[in-house]
Structures are given as C-alpha cells and as structure tokens.
Amino acid sequence: MSNQEPVVLGQPTVGDEELAAVAEVFRSGWLAGAGPACRRFEERFAKTVGTAHALTTSNCGSALFLGLRVLGVKPGDEVIVGDYTFPATGHAVLQAGATPVFADIRPDVWSADPASIESLITPRTVGILAVDVAGQPGDFDEYRAIADKHGLWLFEDAACAAGATYKTRPAGSLADLAAFSFHGRKGITAGEGGALVSDREDLIAHARKLHTYGIEPAITREGSGALPIPEFHELGYNFRLSDVQAAIMNVQLDRLPDLLSARRSVAKRYHEAFENLPGLDVPVELPDREHPWQAYILTVAPEIDRDALALRIREQGVQCNFGTYASHLQPIYGKKQTLPVSADLFARHLAIPMHANLTDDQVDRVIGTVSAALPS
C-alpha cells in the first residue's frame, strides 16, 4: 500500500466564491427551496444549455421522474432506455409505473445504438430515454428520426453532460426534455441537485407544480395583494432544490468554462499516454461532439483481469473504479434481455481519476501507476 496521499477519482472545485454566495443567501433569509437563488440559476442555466425553460430539482433522479410524469408515462407503457448507465435512469421509469426496455450500445462511445432502439419498439412503446454516457451525447439526430417516425417522445438523460455539445448544439437542447445532475462527481456541483430543461413551457410549468406537492411554489405568491390559498388538484412531491444549493450552482456556472478546459487538458494527457499502450483502449470523442469528460474510462483488453488490475492500481494510492452499469444485468430489472456490447464493456471498463483539480504531478502519477500495473 502506498504511503503517498491518494489521487482521488473525483473531486469538486469549490472555494471562497461559493462560501460568499451561501452567506448572501443566509442574509436574505430565504434558505428553503424554489426561491430567488433558484430562479436566478434556472434563468442562467436555461441559456447555457440552449432551452427556453429550466426547473431546479433535488437531484437528477427526481428530474427524470418528473419528466416522465409530465410526459404522461403510465403503467403498461414501455420506455426504451440506453443500457449503459447508472440505474437511476431505469429506476425513474419503474417509479413512473412503466417498464424500461434496454437498448444495447455503440461499442465506441457507449450510447444507445439507434438500430437497437428501432428493433425494440412495440405498440406499448411511448418514448426513448437516451443517456449521454460519461457526458458525451449520443446520436440525437437518429434518435429524433426514430421518435418522429413512430410518434414517440425523446428524453435526454444529460446527468453528466453540462458543457457538452452535439453538432454545435448544447447537451440539454437535443430532445423534448433533458435532465441534469449536480452530484458531487459531476462537472458542476452543489454536492447534490438537478435540473429539468425544455423548450416546452407546458411541460416545465406542470413539473414545477408537481415538484412542490402539486401547487405553485411560494415565490409565485410573493407580493400578492390578496391572501392566496393554493388548492391541491393532483399528487405532487417535494423535489425542490434549496436556495443554498442554488447559490453554489450560480458560482459553479461561472466556473464552467474553466472546469471544462481543465478536464479536457487532463483527457489530452491521458490520451497521449495510453493510446498506444498495449492492453488498453482510450475513450473516443467523436469529431461532431464536445466531450465534457465527466469521467475518463479506459477499456481493458479481454485477456486482462480488469478487477485485479484495479486492485493493483488502488494499492498504489490511485483511486479507480468500474465504468458504469450494464443496467439490464441488475436483478431489479429481471435479467430478461441479452445485450452483448453493454455486458462486455461493463466487465472491461476502468474509470481513472478525472476532475478539474488534478495537478500535473498527479496526472503523471496516474499514468505511471496504470502503466506499471498492466501485466508484462
């Protein structure tokens, strides 16, 4: 075991600016959810991702669920989901009462294969939930063509994709709805939180009611000359982001260009070090997309024991992990499908440290440790 300080897998970039923004919220007296800081962030974030509207939420899972609710998903429906993703994506479909049907993935960029999506459509299919794996958007022109051909909605799981683009269009603007995560390992973060974005005012307005127990948030009643007493007409939830978190996110949005630049610099160094190293394949960034590098995931050759390699790397104080999940293999979904590409990569992917705070010396250490841990 190494005596050196560990090189961590992921780490937020926060500092005095975030503390000052939180102090301002404290002075305002509005710490609860869906307040002025949330509204400021929603306006700014919508512009950043190229949509007309944004709604802050408690996390990405709640944003996904709200999106499915306002799209009208109900028991008996089927939703096609890109398989290679943290199971929050499939869970949201189950929580909405529908059945997730998982699409196999492209072997190069790991997003849902359009041909697999098309093959899974049945009379019960109502929509496509496509995942931006590690932040890089999938084939959204093809997804849209399939959705339009079959009368389906299209929903982008952009949890990892803040700052990414597809054919110059920002991630988040590529579908009828998109959901983002502000979890601690994401490119911009308040520790937790999320957002639902869309050009459709009706969908976001409905989601805004549902995320506050089924009524308009309190801020919409501020300054009223009467005594407004909201009425509850449908079941809602408490999925609000606090104004404390929103204050942090406003600063994180200011940081976004620099954070992306730092991650891209690390990815470039990893590429140069690993692209010709036997036993490893580097991740692919397609030329018509900008990758935000929320994660950097190596593909280990089939003849190498990925788990043993990971343990050797960890012993040297460099954190690493598997990539993400082949969702269809998780017991909760019943293991009813066979998706060979996703299953294969689930067994061979290795995520190594990727965040904006990595120093040159730490990157050198990661490169040296991974290289030395490979079987000779």
- Segment 46-102, tens digit of pLDDT: 999 999 999 999 999 999 999 999 999 999 999 999 999 999 999 999 999 999 999
Give the per-residue pLDDT at 17.
Answer: 98
Q: CATH 3.40.640.10 in the chain, residues?
A: 16-254
Residue 219 has pLDDT above 80, yes or no: no
Supply the pLDDT for residue 335: 79
Q: What is the mean pLDDT of the chain?
A: 96
Which part of the chain has CATH 3.90.1150.10? Answer: 256-373
The pLDDT score that the predictor gives to residue 216 is 83
- Per the residue annotation, which of 186, 268, 335, 336 is the catalytic one? 186
Condensed to tens digits (0 to 9), the pLDDT of residues 255-264 reads 999 999 999 9
Q: Which fold has domain 16-254?
A: Aspartate Aminotransferase; domain 2 (3.40.640)
Buried b / exposed e along 165-179 (16+ C-beta atoms within 10 A):
bbeebbbbbbbbbbb
pLDDT computed for residue 39 by the predictor? 96
**pLDDT tens for residues 137-146?**
999 999 999 9
- Its pTM stands at 0.96
CB distance 182 to 161 below 8 Å: no
What would the CATH number be for the domain defined by 256-373? 3.90.1150.10
Q: Determine which of 118-132, 160-174, 203-217 has the lowest per-residue pLDDT on average.
A: 203-217
**Poorest-pLDDT segment among 14-28, 68-82, 90-104, 219-233:** 219-233
Annotation marks residue 186 as catalytic: yes
